[in-house]
Amino acid sequence: MTSFKNIGLIGRLGSARAVDTLKRLVRYLDKRGLHVIIEDRTATVLLDHGQQEASRDRLGEICDLVIVVGGDGSMLGAARALCLSGTPVLGINRGRLGFLTDVSPDEMEVKVGEVLDGHFEIEERFLLDAQVYRNDMPVGDGDALNDVVVHPGKAVRMIEFELFIDGQFVYSQRSDGLIIATPTGTTAYALSGGGPIVHPGIDAITLVPMFPHTLSSRPIVVGGGSEIRIHIGETNEAYPHVSCDGQTRVVSKPDDILYVRRKPQRLKLVHPFGHNFYEVCRSKLGWSSRLGA
């Protein structure tokens, strides 16, 4: 048995399937005699649930384990809040791909039971911190489990910027932007941009240009401890947006500086025994199985 006694629940809003799975999960945890705490926003879709409610940040302080029912987007939001407390997180897939929420609803009771009985493994994933400075003063920040993206926003035009890694000048570029991805994020937006898939156990950051105005510009993989600095060009007509996990956090101005670094805290992602990253890739990305299988 594990020490998981206080179980937090976070669900995908606006999904009837996620609500049904949440109700099943509450009943199952109740039968096991566990204390269930439901995130306050999730509680709004679970009428008469009879459980304690708490904010997402508070869940990390009072729970031994948090279970997220939804897609990878739901997990991204939970990860940014829960990495600070180091609370382990388990994902049940009620989205589309489900790279992070890898437990199927059809086997939920079995797999959750295995975890509660101590049959699980914990995988740590790092996040990125992003900070934008203007005239040497901070004007905005954010964090991301998948990626930090510099892009022109709604404007259909290229942006200009200079890239520095650990203080060394790399290049000036005109493009639709730049994706700065963790290993977790290399199977997300960065993959669509032509970036490589990086195993989550590798301590690396991937930089993927978005439609660069040169055929020689290619993705770069650097050490996870690297400091990424982007100087927004002074002649930009568009005001580039800085997005973290798809959510705009700062609208920058010409001559702003964006710093991206690895976050000190890490997400503790729980998997039932037998989790295999390459099997997940085969399943989610449609890779071929072994010959004759």
Query: What residues are annotated to the active site?
Result: 72
Q: Are 60 and 73 in contact (CB under 8 A)?
A: no
Lookup: tokens for 107: 């086997």
Cα angle 146-152-156, degrees, rounded to a multiple of 5: 125
Burial class (CB in 10 A: 0-12, 13-18, 19+), 147: buried
Closest CA to 286 of 102, 103, 97: 97
Closest CA to 256 of 273, 241, 274, 277: 241
User: CA geometry: angle at 269 spanning 124 and 21, to 5°?
Assistant: 170
Report the helix count and the strand count for the chain, using DSSP H and E.
7, 17
**CA–CA dist 89, 60 (Å, integer):** 10
| DSSP-assigned beta bridge partners for residue 130 | 142, 260
Contact 92, 78 (CB under 8 A): no
Contacts of 211 (CB under 8 A, 6+ apart): 158, 175, 176
Q: Which of 115, 86, 105 minimizes the C-alpha distance to 271?
A: 115
**Dist. CA 149–CA 95, nearest whole Å:** 23
Phi and psi at residue 78, to the nearest 5°: -65, -40
Three-state DSSP state, 231? strand
